[in-house]
Amino acid sequence: MNHSRRDFLHKFALSSLALPILPSFATEHTRWLRTQPQGPVLRVALLGLGGYAKRVADAMNACQRAKITGLISGTPSKLQTWGELYHVAEKNRYTYADIDDLKNNPDIDAVYVLTPNALHHEHVIRAAKAGKHVICEKPMAVGVREGKEMVAACASAGVKLLIGYRMRFEPNTLDVVRRRMEGTLGPINFFQGQCGFKIGDPNQWRLDKQLAGGGALMDIGIYAINGARYMVGEDPIWVTAQETKTDFNKFKDGVDETIQFQLGFPSGAVASCLSTYAMNFLDRFYLNGEKGFAELWPATGYGPIKGKTNTGTLTFPHIAHQTIQMDEMARILLDGAVPTLAVDGQVGLQDLQIIEAIYQACQTGRRQDIDFS
């Protein structure tokens, strides 16, 4: 690992703070990651105990600045099982009906909302009114109006709202960002983002318009949208898009199967992206500049992320993304740290504004200007 990359992680990727390191990564190449500044621990309640929440919970076992101190679920048996597994006191286990009671619990600093998309709005606002910082999974809501209300509610309550954009903390991703920021790739011309997989169970909530707010674009295409923004280093000003649907039984009205979309940026750079629930082996980012290129493939999966540039292979070791994310979010919430790539509610709201413009472009067949007001 060269010194420039090492310095970058210390200076940019982790807000001048070193990453936590799992024992299995204790090698010569990663030993420098062990240095961990001391500080208070973020006490987190997980709201919604589904499959992704389990991944977050397991990854948090390796965190040094964040730990699980609360659980919120509509399923009593989950509260019992998870409480025993993650050593959460019974007094810190809540049902959805009890969210408002969090205001009386000093053992919890923040609530991580991990429920289906359509429930984020209610859960974020209730957690904020209870005086807790909020971390919300992406997409932050099913529409712009709800997103704005969530941002406003957190501001009114005097708490912070962060969105679970784990890739904005991932070391290989941040090394590409560093290269772009330093100008080693030259002016950026083009970004390509391919995000997709074949979705399974046709009865799952991700294929329910009322719970998901859409289809593949809301779930997986958002990675290409968000990735285009941090890879290019600009926010898009227009979009064109085309929708393709081959399975009308699985993908009902309002649930997109495949969307191709193109973004235009103020500098003149353009992006070409694909979002789909119908094809596997699509997890690739490619960034083209006048002096070089960068590629991440896989780019957004749970890892390991692999990458290369015109000067060689990216070699940062894999650490569970959620481990890095939660330790870094602890620094944001408790220390006031400023991350290289923002993960606040405004970033999540802007993604929703882009998503709405993409859907509008699909419906009208016309280019849409993107309104961030």
Could you give the residue numbers annotated as active site? Answer: 138, 223
Neighbouring residues of 129: CB distance < 8 A, sequence distance ≥ 6:
100, 103, 153, 157
Which sign does the torsion angle of CA 218, 368, 298, 254 carry?
positive
Neighbouring residues of 120: CB distance < 8 A, sequence distance ≥ 6:
113, 136, 137, 139, 140, 141, 142, 146, 150
Neighbouring residues of 67: CB distance < 8 A, sequence distance ≥ 6:
41, 42, 43, 44, 60
Establish how many alpha carbons lie within 13 A of residue 152's alpha carbon, considering only the half-sphere containing its beta carbon: 6
C-alpha distances out from residue 276 to 35, 76, 144, 227, 257, Å: 41, 35, 22, 16, 6
In angstroms and rounded to an integer, the radius of gyration of the C-alpha atoms of the chain is 20
The CA-CA-CA angle for residues 131, 152, 107, to 5°, reads 15
Structure tokens, 310: 């015109």
d(CA 343, CA 44): 17
Counting other chains too, the contacts that 358-364 makes at CB distance below 8 Å and 24 or more residues apart are 358/217, 358/221, 358/225, 358/239, 358/241, 358/259, 358/261, 359/214, 359/217, 359/241, 359/256, 361/239, 361/240, 361/241, 361/261, 362/241, 362/242, 362/243, 362/256, 362/259
d(CA 187, CA 266): 12
Structure tokens, 183: 């100008």
d(CA 3, CA 38): 24
